[in-house]
């Protein structure tokens, strides 16, 4: 057991050190790379907490796709030369903020230490209700059955985020594609990478979604891996970003939440309660909803990374 403890302590210090670097690094780009490194280490921590579903999500979204988003932004802003523009806090207020943050962290650490070793839990109830959902993975059951309402609304949050990002376009570009028009010649190495990665990644994404019913995985994680594949294909310029006024794109963006919402209303009619599943048919209905959620996530995340439309729409 002691080796494991030593490893845990080492991992924890590494996470803390990289996080500190991310906050205090001299440049924005260095900090951003620090964050990517940090995200990957966090996936290890989640494994150590036996939360494999979360580790998958963290690896795909927290580290991978967020990393692309932030590194892209940092690389673009590197020319901004913001260093001289900002009024940094004065030494005294910096100290005050630091003391405040240390106090918050200490209070939190104290409370965390005080939490009972065997805390209250819904594990028992989750497992008891599991058979009627037809699922084997309780985390998926929480997301898609017990707390389906949360998950559906969270999909609506993603739709609003897309609307918000697109709202930053210039008027003349509304309906056009995101990203600048680029040179026709793609980076050959990147294209090569994308050509190999994409088919494999699609397989993995679908696999992760499919096993999610019973094993760690699910619609979020599978969708995020598929999203990453579309992102790399677009980065390699093997395909252009779609026009934001394309009807198929809108359909794909709202499909997950719309199907989920419709199923929720159907539950009120056929199963006696909003977002309830008809007894005996729970699993097929769940997989049906999840399939559309995968589609929506796989399309939404790349569109969020791509940013607002920056090209005039083609008629």
Applying the rule CB under 8 A, the residues between 234 and 263 that interact with another protein are 235-236, 245, 250-251, 253-254, 257-258, 261
CA 49 → CA 120, 121, 196, distances in Å? 17, 15, 33
* Residue 143 or 299 with smaller CB distance to another protein: 143
Cα(266)–Cα(152) distance, rounded to whole angstroms? Answer: 14
Task: Copy the structure tokens of residue 138.
Answer: 């309780």
Q: Could you tell me which residues come within 8 angstroms of residue 201 by beta carbon, excluding any fewer than 6 positions away?
A: 225, 226, 228, 229, 232
Q: How far is the CB of 212 from another protein (least distance, A)?
A: 10
Q: How far is the CB of 287 from another protein (least distance, A)?
A: 17
> What is the x/- site pattern for another protein, positions 96-135, by CB under 8 A?
-xx-xxx-xxxxxxxxxxxxxxxxxxxxxxxxxx------
Asked whether 72 and 64 are in contact (CB, 8 A), the reply is no
In b/e form, how buried is each residue of 208-229, taking b as 16+ CB within 10 angstroms?
bbbbbbeebbbbbbbbbbbbbb
Helix (H, G, I), strand (E, B) or coil at 35: helix
271 near another protein (CB under 8 A): yes
One residue of 169, 177, 289, 294 binding another protein per CB under 8 A: 169
Of 299, 178, 290, nearest to 250 (Cα)? 299
295 near another protein (CB under 8 A): no
200 near another protein (CB under 8 A): yes
Q: How far is the CB of 307 from another protein (least distance, A)?
A: 5
Binders of another protein among residues 69 to 98 (CB under 8 A) are: 69-82, 84-89, 94, 97-98
* Residue 124 or 291 with smaller CB distance to another protein: 124
Q: How far is the CB of 284 from another protein (least distance, A)?
A: 17
Q: How far is the CB of 192 from another protein (least distance, A)?
A: 7
């Amino acid at each position: 057991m002691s080796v494991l403890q030593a490893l845990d302590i080492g991992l924890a210090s590494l996470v803390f050190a990289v996080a500190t670097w991310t906050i205090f690094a001299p440049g924005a780009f260095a900090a951003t790379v620090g964050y990517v490194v940090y995200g990957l280490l966090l996936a290890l921590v989640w494994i150590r907490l036996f939360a494999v579903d979360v580790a998958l999500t963290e690896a795909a979204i927290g580290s991978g796709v967020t990393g692309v988003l932030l590194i892209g932004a940092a690389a673009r802003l590197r020319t901004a030369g913001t260093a001289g523009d900002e009024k940094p806090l004065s030494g005294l207020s910096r100290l005050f903020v630091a003391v405040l943050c240390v106090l918050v962290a200490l209070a939190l650490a104290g409370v965390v230490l005080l939490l009972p070793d065997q805390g209250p839990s819904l594990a028992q109830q989750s497992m008891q209700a599991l058979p009627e959902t037809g699922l084997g993975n309780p985390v998926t059951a929480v997301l898609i059955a017990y707390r389906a309402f949360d998950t559906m609304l969270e999909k609506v949050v993603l739709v609003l985020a897309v609307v918000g990002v697109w709202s930053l376009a210039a008027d003349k570009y509304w309906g056009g594609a995101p990203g600048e028009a680029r040179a026709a010649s793609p980076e050959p190495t990147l294209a090569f990478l994308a050509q190999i990665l994409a088919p494999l990644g699609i397989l993995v994404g679908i696999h992760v979604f499919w096993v999610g019913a019973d094993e760690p995985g699910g619609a979020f994680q599978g969708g995020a891996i598929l999203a990453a594949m579309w992102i790399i294909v677009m980065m390699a310029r093997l395909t252009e970003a779609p026009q934001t006024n394309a009807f198929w794109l809108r359909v794909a963006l709202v499909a997950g939440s719309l199907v989920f919402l419709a199923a929720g209303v159907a539950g009120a009619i056929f199963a006696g309660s909003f977002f309830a599943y008809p007894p005996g048919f729970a699993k097929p209905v769940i997989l049906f909803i999840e399939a559309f959620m995968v589609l929506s996530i796989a399309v939404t995340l790349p569109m969020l990374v791509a940013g607002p439309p920056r090209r005039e729409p083609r008629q």
